[in-house]
A and B are shown apart, each in its own frame.
Chain A
C-alpha cells in the first residue's frame, strides 16, 4: 500500500530538499518543486516502479499577485490508478517570464489543459506543440483569470444595464420623454426632505 509518507520519502531521496512544502490538506499529499524541475519530477513519478503516477487528472493555473517572484502557480493533480492514490504537485513561476516546460510529452491530455492555462493565466509552456488560446478569442491581448482583472463591479454606473436588473443610470444615452420622466422621479426621490434624510 502506497502511503503519503512513503511517496514523500521517495521524493526526498531523489530530489533532496528541492521538493519542498509537503502538506496534506484533506489527506492529499501536496508539494512543490522549482519550475525547472517540473518535468524531472513528473517523469520520476511516472516511471518509478513504486509510485506509478501515470494518470494526469488535472492541470490548472492559480494567480497569487502578492507572492513576489512566484506569482503564477501551475497545479498538477496526478493519480496512481493501481494503488488509488492522488497527489497534488505545484510549481511556481515569475509572472514576468512565465516559462514552464510542457508535460505534453508525457501526457497527451496535458495539451488542452496547458492551452487553457495559457489562455487564462499566460503561462507559456515551453515545447508545447500548439501553444495558442483555446476558449477565448485569438485577438484577446490579456489573460483574464489573473487577479488584476476583477469581475465587473456590481455597482458601476457608467453603462446602462437596466436590462440586467441593476437599474439604469440617470439620463444615460436616452432623451425620450418617458425616460426623462422616470429619471426626474428618481431624482426627486434622492432629494432630502425637511429632516435632511433622503426619501427612500
Chain B
C-alpha cells in the first residue's frame, strides 16, 4: 500500500468479498451462460458456472428422428462453424452404414470445413480483440466472414444454420458462382488476415492484456479433456485431422501450430496460424477438385440410394426412386445395428458423435461430445486469482459457444 492511500484504523472496516453475477445475458459472455464470481476487490476468489439456459435436449430429440433430420440439430451446436458439425454427423452416419465417399466429395467437404474453421477462428480472435477494446479488427474481418457465408449460401442456400450436405455427399454440385467466390476469397483473404494480424500480434496493449492470463499447463489441459486450439496452445500437438484422418485429410500437406504457455495470447496465436493453414488446405483442395475431368468432375455424392434423396425427375418416372424417396422422407429406413464413435476436428476441438443403433429407424442413443462443454469446466482454475477483466478475455479466448455448451 502506497503512502497516498488513506489509512484507516486497523479493524475499522471488515474485509468482505463481493459476489458478482456475470450473465446469463451479459454482453461480455457472448452467449447465454452465467458466472457467479466471488471478488476480492478486482481479484477473483472463486467462480461458479451455471449453464443450461439454452438446453434444447438434442440428444433426446435425436432418438425420435431419422438420420437425415438430425443434421439440423447439429447446426445449432457450434453455430459459428455449423458445416463442420454437419459434415461430422454425415461422416458418423457413413461410418455406421459403411458408405465410401468419392474423393471429389471428400475434397469439397474439406473446402467447406476449412472455410468454416476460418470463420470460427475469425470470430473468436476478433472478439478477443473487441474484449480488449479493439473494435476495428472485428469490423474489418467481418466482411470476409460474410464472403464465407455467401459461399455457403451458394452451396446449400443457408448461411448460419446450414444443414449442408447429405449422407453420402452434397445435395447438389457446387455451382460456378460458389467457385468464383471461393477464388475471390483465396485471392483477397491473405492480405486481410495479414493486416488483421498486424493490428494485434505485436500490439503492445493487446500483448499486455493477453500474455500470461488464463494460462493452463499441458498436463492440466489434458486432464481437463481440452482439445483443439485450446489444447494446442498449451503445447500438445493433438489434432483429429492428423491423428484419425477423415474425409481424406491425409492427402493434404499442413502443419499443426502449437503454443507453449496455454495462455490467452497463445490461444490467439494458434488460432491465427490455423487460419493460415486452413487457407493452404483450401488452396490444395481446390486444386485437387479442379483436376477432376469429364464425368468425374460432376460427382458430388456417393451411391447410397437408401439414404440419399433421388433426383426429383426420377421420383416421377422411376418406381425405385419413388419408393426410396418416400421411405427417406417418411423416415422408414431401418438403420443397421451398431455402435460408432466418429470425431472431427471442430472449431473448438474434438467434436465427437457416439451413435448407438439397435436396428430401428432412429438412433437408440446419440451422444455429442461437445468440446466447449468439456473445457468450460476449467474456467474456475483458469481464472482463480486473476483480475475480473482478464476473466472476460479468458472467456472469449476459450471460444465459448452457448449452443455447444448446452446442446
Contact = CB atoms under 8 A, between A and B. Distances in A.
Contacts of A56: 225
Interface string A101-128: 0000001110111001000100000000
B341 interface: yes
B354 A75 contact: yes
Interface in B336-360: 338-341, 343, 350, 352, 354, 356
Interface stretch (A23-31, A176-184, A192-200): A23-31
A140 to B, nearest CB: 11
A120 B367 CA distance: 12
B211 interface: no
Interface in A29-85: 30, 54-58, 60, 62-63, 75, 77, 81, 84
B287 interface: no
Contacts of B340: 25-26
B76 to A, nearest CB: 15
A132 to B, nearest CB: 11
B250 to A, nearest CB: 13
A135 interface: yes
A136 interface: yes
Nearest to B219: A54
Interface string B41-75: 00000000001100101011101100000000000
B223 interface: yes
B26 interface: no
B377 A108 contact: yes
A135 B55 contact: yes
A144 interface: yes
A111 B139 CA distance: 38
A26 B357 CA distance: 13
A113 B374 contact: yes
Contact of B338 (A25, A60, A81, A136): A25
Contact of A135 (B51, B350, B364, B365): B51
B243 interface: yes
B382 interface: no
B341 A86 contact: yes
A38 B17 CA distance: 41
B51 A134 contact: yes
B287 to A, nearest CB: 29
B53 to A, nearest CB: 9
Nearest to B52: A135
A108 B217 CA distance: 14
Contacts of B352: 57-58, 77
Contacts of B374: 109, 112-113
A26 B388 CA distance: 47
A60 B363 CA distance: 15
B224 A151 contact: no
Choose among A63, A137, A145 the residue with the greatest number of B CB atoms under 10 Å from its CB.
Answer: A145
B222 A112 contact: no
A28 B339 CA distance: 9
A102 to B, nearest CB: 14
B51 A55 contact: no
A77 B377 contact: no
B339 A107 contact: no
Contacts of B223: 107-109
The 5 A-B pairs of least Cβ separation, nearest first, read A109-B225, A135-B52, A60-B367, A135-B55, A58-B369
10 contacts: A28-B341, A63-B365, A77-B369, A81-B236, A108-B223, A108-B224, A109-B225, A112-B376, A116-B373, A150-B64
Interface of A: 25-26, 28, 30, 54-58, 60, 62-63, 75, 77, 81, 84, 86, 88, 107-109, 111-113, 116, 120, 134-137, 144-145, 150-151
Interface of B: 51-52, 55, 57, 59-61, 63-64, 95-96, 220, 222-225, 236, 238, 243-244, 338-341, 343, 350, 352, 354, 356, 364-365, 367, 369, 373-374, 376-378, 406-407
Given A55-B225, A107-B225, A134-B52, 5 more contacts: A25-B338, A28-B341, A57-B343, A137-B52, A144-B57
